Amino acid sequence: MTKPSRIILLLAGFLAPSALAAQVVQGAFVDPSSGQPIAGARAVLRDGSGRDVAAAGTGADGGFVVRAPAAGTYVLRVERIGYGLTETAPFALAAGETVRRRVVANARRIVLEAIVAESRSRCIPRPGSGPQTATVWEEARKVLGSARETGESGGYRYAVRRFARRLDAPGQTILHDSVTTAEVESGSPFVAVPLERLVRRGYVEPAGRSFLFHAPDARVLLSDQFQERHCFALVDGPNGLIGLSFEPVSTEKPDVRGILWLDRATAELRRLEYAYTQVPGMGQESGVAGGWMEFSRLPDGRWIVGRWTIRMPVVEATRVQRVDMQEVAIKTTLRLHLAGIREEGRSFGLRPTAHSAITACSASG
């Protein structure tokens, strides 16, 4: 290839449409009464088919920048915990264009204190199916959506405290205990295994002579697959909490049931508790298998899983041989038994970065 042809190719690369055509929606989210900026909101760009294609959080000045993947017609939705949904009219966004929008928050405030969780609430498919469950789910979804996007975008460095302990089979005596510290530069502090794997194999799967236990993260909880495979009901909780419980609609594979706990006064998602519905070899002792996670708000209003713990029974398989007198043969079977309990967990605190000052993210556990 001659030198002139190289120059032509380089110029073509610099002038490629993908490099030039950046579609941007830039704006600010403000209070309807005072006009003051609202930090910690989530601006979501939705295309003509109703699909969310891009999102960004609002900073201390209420500002946000959302980048569209292509030219087209979009709707901008801005959501904030405790506020009703704010949505703009559809607008066109041309290739390479920057559109500016000042979005005034919905004046309607979300009040969870007025929602009554009946003692025998019916478990209904998908959390948005009933009016009251939909209200609670929408507030939980805002935190979950923020936690998912924080993991994808990064921007913080976390100090991580890890613990692991081994207990005896009854779960009363600690046989081994260890604590280590580390740092996570970016990404989510807690990430589940791929959703396709959970759907295909379940939340408990064989691993040699024992089993692997998987927990749901924000990405899993928000997925259509999870919501279609679980039903939801409201639960009244202690200390000003209201819960959105979920349980699987099928017992075909090991799954999880649990409760998302929200603060009635602030509408913030505080905690997820879950348990495994099937643990091979556990019998009536399956209550020892489960976990919990707490959600923490970062200084810029985004959310992460600030602490989590998982409690896993150590189930071992032993080959047992017996004589079958009728068939006059020796048969081998597997006998599962509880050999102990393993606990693992993490807690996270913020380290200073070029983008943020040091602030406590959550208490160490």
pLDDT in tens, 56-69: 888 889 999 999 99
Residue 307 CA to residue 296 CA, distance in Å, equals: 8
Q: Could you give the percent of the chain with pLDDT greater than 90?
A: 42
Reduced to 3 states (helix: H, G, I; strand: E, B; else coil), residue 204 is strand
- Written as one letter, the residue type at 14 is F
pLDDT in tens, 179-203: 998 876 555 666 778 889 998 999 9
Class of residue 188 by CB neighbours under 10 A (exposed 0-12, middle 13-18, buried 19+): buried
pLDDT value of residue 331? 67
**Where are the chain's structural domains?**
21-109, 147-351
3-state helix, strand, coil in the chain (%, to 5): 15, 45, 40
pLDDT value of residue 348? 82
pTM above 0.95, yes or no: no
pLDDT value of residue 164? 92
Three-state SS sequence of 209-251: CEEEECCCCHHHHHCHHHHHCEEEEEEECCCCEEEEEEEECCC
Check: CB of residue 56 under 8 Å from CB of residue 64.
yes
Check: CB of residue 59 under 8 Å from CB of residue 300.
yes
Over residues 297-317, the mean pLDDT reads 84
Q: Which uninterrupted H or E stretch holds 320?
A: strand 303-324
Which segment, 18-27, 146-155, 250-259, is predicted with the most confidence on average? 250-259
Fold of 21-109: Immunoglobulin-like (2.60.40)
Better pLDDT: 276 or 357? 276
pLDDT value of residue 71? 94
Q: What's the pLDDT band for 45 if we cut at 50, 70, 90?
A: very high
Better pLDDT: 286 or 87? 87
Cβ-defined contacts of 192-195 (< 8 Å, 24+): 192/216, 192/217, 192/219, 192/220, 195/219, 195/220, 195/223, 195/225, 195/226
pLDDT value of residue 194? 87
pLDDT value of residue 171? 76
Q: What rounded mean pLDDT belongs to the chain?
A: 81
Reduced to 3 states (helix: H, G, I; strand: E, B; else coil), residue 148 is helix
pLDDT in tens, 104-148: 999 988 889 888 887 666 788 888 878 889 999 999 999 998 888
Q: What's the pLDDT band for 253 if we cut at 50, 70, 90?
A: confident
- Please determine, for residue 264, whether its predicted confidence score (pLDDT) is greater than 70: yes
- Please determine, for residue 227, whether its predicted confidence score (pLDDT) is greater than 60: yes
- Please determine, for residue 363, whether its predicted confidence score (pLDDT) is greater than 60: no
- Written as one letter, the residue type at 41 is A
pLDDT in tens, 333-348: 666 677 788 899 988 8
Helix intervals (H) in the chain: 3-14, 17-20, 131-153, 195-201, 218-222, 224-228
Better pLDDT: 10 or 114? 114
pLDDT value of residue 101? 93
